[in-house]
Amino acid sequence: VTGSLPISLQSCQCLAWKPGPVGVWPCPSESQHVVAGYSDGTVRVFSVSRTEMELKMHPHAAALTAITYSTDGEMILSGGKDGTVAISSPRTGMTIHVLADHKGSPITVLQCTRKQYHDFGVEGGELWLATSSDRRVSVWASDWLQDKCELLDWLSFPAPAGPEGLDSLPPSLAAFCPWEHGVLVYVGFGLQKEALFYSLRKKQVLRKISLPAFATSLSLSPAGPFMAIGFGDRLLRLQPCPAGAPQDYAGHDDTVHFCSFAPSGRRLLSASHSAVLVWELTGA
């Protein structure tokens, strides 16, 4: 640890690194920034090298639950406990869009990916998705310079009513598939314990992968056809895609509530209540 960021009386609910220039990794330390979402509805941008807050915005009336940068780092997308999604500029400090399509259900995931203008017949240089805890996923095409934000697809996944034996429902999680363009992967409470691969072009589920339990965390490798899935029984699974024998790993003390591949795809970070593990993926 080389420094600490300023302490706030509000609790930090989510954070994200600002992406570096395309083709440059790692990002130069002097330009590294993180954005954090807080329980008071504020979004704060911190400089890592100077260990100080550079910008504070207040785009939400409720606590934040998800946050990310656009792929070029020019916009900040934030989601709240009330289901609203805000798009703000860290350059001007202005919020340019507030979307209420998921209103009433906390945002669980926000993710951006690059796209070509002609990929889906709509204008936009970037594709992004928002997932809420009520098993809904919205997919958007945006052109930040032209102030355009267009809904591309809207997914609602069914689930049985009145589940028994579950203190809280598993989270709804979705991610763009790095190795299969135009496809997203979804896991969440539903009729079956499974991961769904949905095609944005065909507007249908292409395939399903059965899971031993409902997933509590999800990450897709940027380097190859693998996904990491965490479960409530302290299990972390590395799943080859589209098929193959999964590898299960123990070592956590509680629910694996977070997992994330490194940009190289060679390491995997996973976290539970009081343990953070780093895995070396020598065969991936």
pLDDT in tens, 63-109: 999 999 999 999 999 999 999 999 999 999 999 999 999 999 999 99
Q: Are 276 and 269 in contact (CB under 8 A)?
A: yes
Q: Please give the backbone phi and psi of residue 29, each rounded to the nearest 5 degrees, phi first.
A: -60, -30
Q: What is the pLDDT of residue 1?
A: 47
Confidence of residue 24 (pLDDT cuts 50, 70, 90): low
Strand, helix or coil at 175?
strand
Confidence of residue 29 (pLDDT cuts 50, 70, 90): low
Terminal-to-terminal C-alpha distance of the chain:
29
Q: Return the CATH class of domain 160-171+180-283.
A: mainly beta
Strands (E) across 58-106 are located at: 64-69, 76-80, 85-88, 95-99
Q: Please give the backbone phi and psi of residue 114, each rounded to the nearest 5 degrees, phi first.
A: -75, 150
Confidence of residue 30 (pLDDT cuts 50, 70, 90): low
**Has residue 253 got a pLDDT over 70?**
yes
**Has residue 201 got a pLDDT over 50?**
yes
Q: What is the pLDDT of residue 165?
A: 52
Q: What is the pLDDT of residue 244?
A: 86
